[in-house]
Structure 1
Amino acid sequence: MAGKKSALDPEVLRQFSFFASFSKDQLEEIARNAPKVACKAGEVVFRQGDRSATMYLILKGAVKIEREDSAGGIISVGQLSAHQVFGELAMLSKEPRQATVTVTKNAEFLVIDRKMMLNIIAKSDPEEIIEVFSVLSEQTRAANDREFKETLSRRTIEAQMEVEKQRALTQLVAGVAHEINTPLGVINTAVSIMARELAEPKEITTQRAADIAESLELMRRNVERAHRLVQDFKKVSVSQLMDEKDTFDISEAIKETVDLVMVSLKRNQIQVKFHDKLSPNQKRWTGYRGFLSQILINLLTNIERYAYPNGSSGSVDVKIELENDTHYRLSVTDYGKGIAREHQTRIFEPFFTTGRSVGGSGLGLTIVHNLVKNAMKGEIRLTSEVGKGTTFKIILPKVIVE
């Protein structure tokens, strides 16, 4: 931020409600002594927790105000533009900044420090002082109201996102329950065959022994299949409930989730291939198994619903590889309908969906985005072309640091 002495017309200050009651002399003093500061889009004016007793008048441009809550989530407090003021409460109270302010459009500010403001107030008559604090009170009330509404909206979204997570898990349960009926049915048939063979008091011939052995092998394979399904589901479901950080084989965790989701995808003739590009010494990941599973479940469920709708067949490639020495790259690619360009910038927004009629909540990709960005300190990138398909690339640190 570059600062320079102001050559400002004092009457410009009257466009700010904060200075509506100030006299001409007071406005001239501010215009004469307060420096101008220019900032480019993307620059941070100050951060939450900073100590600086200054307030800012936006002469041109725009800023966004964000606050981090106790859980580490980012709350959007609001957007401000020309002829609005920020930082006035911290200037007067000398308390740490309660939010982070970032320039969103090239801006120019007039900066007033605590000493200058107190000097001006000291020269004011009681009525002017009351008016100043009345304006401050109104702005504080408005800021609190904005934050309350934002917090309420965020809590509502969080609650609905939790419902969406449970819905995905419920669908997984239904899929596993349906799939497990197949090996159980085979086992039941094999047991019936064996019971019939053994119930007849005949000599155990080579053929009868072979039939019994075949039935036993059939039972063994299907018990193993059912056991594997249950174990995979147990790992995925328990990890989703616990959300604990651990060090484990990332390739194995991905395969377990993909195998589970494939249970339901196969019914719609969607084939998922997992491509593990990691060498054995690259697979140890310090992260969240549950979050990783949730991301994959949501992405694959979305593919079933939107990329290959109405039971149409198709294929999906899931790939894990190194992005660089410190990060993995997880890619999920389909070759279906694709996402229209005008929708691509909005797909991570809460409640945005083009599939309300087919059960879409508009929260599946919001959950993915929040888990990747906030919980796993990663990035998510989208490339898509209508009629050719979609790829989500997720960049994850090898070790997630809190």
Structure 2
Amino acid sequence: MTKLRLVPPVSSDPHAMDDLRTEVRGFLAEQLSEGKIRRQVDSWLTGWDEDFTRALAARGWLGMTVPTEYGGHGRRHLERFVVTEELLAAGAPVAAHWIADRQIVPSLLKYGTEVQKHKFLPAITRGECYFGIGMSEPDSGSDLASVRTKATRVDGGWSITGAKVWTSGAHRADAFICLARTAQLDPAHRHDGLSQFIVDLHAPGVDIRPIMSMNGQHHFNEVLLDEVLVEDEMVFGTIDNGWQQVTSELSFERSGPERFLSTFVLLAKTAEQMKQGTLPRHSNLGRYLARIAGLHQMSTAVAGALERHEPADTAAAVVKVLGTSTEGDIADFADLLTDESSPPRYTSMLEDAIVQRPGFTLRGGTNEVLRGVIARGLGMR
């Protein structure tokens, strides 16, 4: 009987990068003690701090996997994984560069032209260029293939009209990669005729409207595009190959440590409060720590597979489903333990987790959809 493996094995020495972890932890401790940053729940979405981003860039911790010929550092994916994991575990404010460094960098390296690589990769590595993602649309739900944003061929480029929604950081970003339909929709082949474009978010015809969270914070946006001109040199990849490009990007989006560490800082604070006696001790603390440890191993394994250019779509979906469920469970666990006597800083962190909780299992593909991805990856029908 063939043994079924959902996640690739961890093939590297888990202690090989202990020195790098120690270096990152020391830097973060210094930043915290000097009051330059504070610990935040869901910091990769809510923690926009361009000064901190530039401080990371100065340490060589942005664009780590970008080849040196494009202004990067030519380091391994696993090294980048270690740095990002430590940043997230500390609740550091990484939102400004997160999408650019996590998703746009590998996409540019795989599909970008030389003009695009030289334009954007050095700027991302310096912490000076911020990106969003233009995939989701109003009324489309998780059906990405139903996008109605249309790109029409014009002299010297493409005219794009449509709407994108849930675009994180668009009101502060410089550009986003937009998925648009470049051919008539064929109901029998819905994934055909889609293309990607790098759109300047300050261009004429771009209207960015805020979507406010329940706590009044502004992270998400609706982006309206009204005949926005995109020159030919900003066509991303191959026309009509957008679906294949998008799906190849999703392993980077779904498998990283941000899919299980969004509420880790709350879990750590909960353990601290238990130790101090301000919260009752509970055995589930150990269970959640064990789940995080397992997810760390799984996510590390996927990072290794991506570094080896091995397919990891199914494994990434597994990490995302289990990880985001754990993030929400941690918020619920802390909520049940807390009462009016809990310290204000802890209560504030918990409130942020509760507000963000509904988004954990939605962004990057709903867990319901991803269970289908996992089933197909296992050959189930």
Note whether the superposition's TM-score is higher than 0.5.
Answer: no
The structure with more strand, counted as a fraction of residues: 1
TM-score, with structure 1 as normaliser? 0.24
Higher relative contact order, chain-length normalized (CA < 8 Å, sep 6+)? 2
TM-score, with structure 2 as normaliser? 0.24
Question: Higher Cα Rg: structure 1 or 2?
Answer: 1
